[in-house]
Amino acid sequence: MRTFSLHPYLPLDALPGLAIGGSVSRQAETLAIRFVLQGDRRQLAMPRAVGPPVRRHRLWEKTCFEFFVAPGDAEHYWEVNLSPAGHWNVYRFSGYRQGMQEELAYTALPVAVRKNATSLQLDAALDLARIVSPAQPLRIGISAVIQARVGAHSFWALTHPGPQADFHRRDGFIVEL
3-state secondary structure the chain: CEEEEEEECCHHHCCCCCEEEEEEEEECCEEEEEEEEECCHHHECCCCCCCCCCECCCHHHCCEEEEEEEECCCCCEEEEEECCCCCEEEEEECECCECCEECCCCCCCCEEEEECCCEEEEEEEEEHHHCCCCCCCEEEEEEEEEEECCCCEEEEECCCCCCCCCCCCHHHCCEEC
Is residue 41 predicted with pLDDT exceeding 90? no
Distance of alpha carbon 39 from alpha carbon 144, whole angstroms: 15
CATH number 2.60.40.1190 given to 2-168: yes
Is residue 15 predicted with pLDDT exceeding 90? no
Is residue 8 predicted with pLDDT exceeding 70? yes
8 A C-beta contact, residue 94 and residue 75: yes
* pLDDT recorded at residue 28: 83
> Looking at the DSSP assignment, which residues form a beta bridge with residue 68?
79, 141
The sign one gets for the Cα dihedral 123, 99, 8, 69 is positive
pTM strictly above 0.85: yes
Highest-confidence segment of 82-96, 107-121, 149-163: 82-96
Distance of alpha carbon 59 from alpha carbon 62, whole angstroms: 6
- CB within 8 Å of 154: residues ≥ 6 apart: 8, 9, 10, 13, 14, 15, 145, 146, 148
Distance of alpha carbon 96 from alpha carbon 119, whole angstroms: 33
Distance set, CA 168 to CA 5, 119, 141 (Å)? 18, 27, 8
Residue with the larger pLDDT of the pair 12 and 149: 149
